[in-house]
Structure 1
Amino acid sequence: MSAGYQHYYVPHQSHWPIVGAAALFLMGYGAAHWVNDDLIGPILLAVGFGLLLLMLFGWFSNVIDESMSGLYSEQMDHSFRQGMSWFIFSEIMFFGAFFGALFYARMISVPWLDGAGDNAMTAQVLWPDFEAIWPLIKTPSGLETHAMPWEGIPLINTIILLVSSITLQFAHMGIEQQKPAQLGFFLMLTIILGICFLALQGYEYVHAYEELGLRLDSGVYGNTFFLLTGFHGLHVTLGAIFLTVIFLRIAVKGHFTAEKHFGFQAAAWYWHFVDVVWLNLFVFVYVL
């Protein structure tokens, strides 16, 4: 046995993954029924979200207990870092698929419907009065909507998330420099900014539905708008939950030190990733 060998802790079997899978299934199934005006949709979605919160709380508790019991070695710490890195990479691929759909619609489908290339006759058959403009505010059925402007709430939310990245960095500096007051203040401020973002996005959705006529059934523009911004809002919600858990661990339990605080770092990585995704959303969904 080499001198550098460290015991690698293998966790016990856990029921939390299947609970998380059931939660995601209920959320997806409920959302699909809600979109189709089925009354059971919102109920299933709420149950799924509640189950997801239960899973996060329970799984976090298990990991925290294992960490504070001294079961983790340096090898386990590397595993956590690799796991979080791959998780964020999977999220990049997730959003990449939706951005790919948006770019395909704008750069290929829209010109094709306008008769680009050798499709002039096909375009006349499919949609004779089609105009190649983006966003598409009119569907083949004649349903018209209005585009969401980038000024106002989208711009305010962009500023909020940019500021939240700065406040989170100050919180990170606070834990590294062993300044608990700075850490607690800026971490709480980051959480508050995230909640403000979600509240404003909710108001934006109400405005889109009631005043702009922008809905999920408003053609490809409505589809891509709500899918991209909606899934991003879900990620902001999860990020705010992560940061809240970290705040409670710091304020109530005093778990982290300047030398050992990967839980904080993992939440910070995730939050900065969410901010970068929003910047791309703001440019390609709202501005261009």
Structure 2
Amino acid sequence: MHNDTSHHYFVPDPSRWPIIGAVALFALGLGASFTVNGIAAGKFGLLLGVLILLWMLFGWFGDVIRESLAGRYQRREDASFRWGMSWFIFSEVMFFAAFFGALFYVRTISVPELGNEQHQLLYPGFAASWPLATGPGISAPYQAMGPWGLPAVNTLILLSSGATLTWAHWGLLSGQRWRLVFGLGLTVVLGALFLGLQIYEYAHAMNELGLSLASGAYGMTFFMLTGFHGLHVLLGAIMLAVVWLRVLRGHFNAEHHFAFEAAAWYWHFVDVVWLILFVFVYWL
């Protein structure tokens, strides 16, 4: 009897991983609360939360990988995964939209408003220019981070990583595994290089430019946007590294490779966000 599973939807067995993830997040939140209030148990709570979270991630994604290799996911499951990843990236777009909105509000509304004649009595000598050099909330002089030099190099690195990832995707679709392995591995290396240079940039900004979170609105928006983006680069690099390890084990083919596509979507999203960030945070 012919068994066609393409019209069925796979429903997994009840899983323990969601409740374990909730315990991990609770431990992280409790540990963070204790730590900021100087309670010694806070660091233990943070460590415990991280360890439980890592256990949950390895276990849950391991189950998904095993189900995929067993052929449980067909056309309808694939469509669900694609919609899920699309909405996840959309939620990340909204995160960055809020942060860029804060930058826009400060630069085009708040700073000009503070520089008008009515506010000169409250803040004498305030210069309504960007980046702010004087004004309330600025505890020490600083220099703004320029666009050329290290930020431009990092831009080139991240754009190159998008090209190597696309090259790896072509290798997957054409059955050239060597291109897939080399291109994907190179993408991970470029992502790690980007993060390393960003750490160096932060050290340069704090030690030589005097730029910190205490540097008024400019310092806060600079570190908020670049730091949040750096977190996304780290997550994307981890995703691509896991996919690369799976490629080495012979996973994926030209017809079934959504895990690769999902990580690639995320990485290209990170690339686009960096281009916008480079223009509005570093350049303009």
Q: Same fold (TM over 0.5)?
A: yes
Report the equivalent of 1:176: 173
Alpha carbons 2:6, 2:76 under 8 Å: kept: no
Tell me what 1:215 maps to: 212
The answer as to whether partners of 2:158 and 2:191 remain within 8 angstroms in 1 is: yes
Equivalent position of 1:68 in the other structure: 69
Deviation, 1:6, is 1.6
> For residues 5 and 194 of structure 1, what CA distance do their matches in structure 2 show?
37
Match of 1:195 among 184, 187, 192: 192
Is residue 127–residue 135 contact of structure 2 (8 Å, CA) maintained in 1? Answer: no
When residues 47 and 96 of structure 1 are mapped into structure 2, their CA distance, relative to the original with a 3 A threshold, is: farther
Counterparts of 1:242-253 in structure 2, within 5 Å, are 242-252=239-249
Distance 1:30 1:145 in 2: 30
Secondary structure at the counterpart of residue 88 of structure 1: helix
Q: Give the alignment partner of residue 236 of structure 1, picking from 225, 233, 238.
A: 233
Residue pair 2:161, 2:187 contacting (<8 A) in 1 also: yes
Tell whether 2:282 aligns with 1:268.
Answer: no
Match of 1:280 in 2: 276
Contact 1:195 1:240 in 2 (8 A): yes
1:60 Cα offset (Å): 1.6
- CA deviation string 1:7-63 (max 9, x = no partner): 2112233344455556567379749967x9999888776665555444432222111
Give the match for residue 121 of structure 2.
Answer: 125
Counterpart residue type for residue 72 of structure 1: Y
Q: CA deviation at 1:97?
A: 0.4
Percent identity of equivalent pairs:
57
Counterpart contact for 1:215–1:222, Cα < 8 Å: yes
Letter of the structure 2 residue corresponding to residue 137 of structure 1: A
Q: How far has the Cα of 1:153 moved from its partner?
A: 1.3
C-alpha distance 130-139 of structure 1, shift in aligned 2 (>3 A): closer
What is the DSSP-based 3-state SS (H/G/I as helix, E as strand, rest coil) of the residue aligned with 2:167? helix
SS of the equivalent of 1:138 reads coil
Aligned mates of 2:34, 2:110 — CA distance in 1: 25
Q: Tell me, in whole angstroms, the C-alpha distance in 2 between the residues paired with 1:190 and 1:249.
A: 15
What is the Cα-based RMSD across aligned positions, in Å? 2.8
TM-score (norm 1): 0.87
Say which of 254, 258, 276 aligns to 1:258: 254
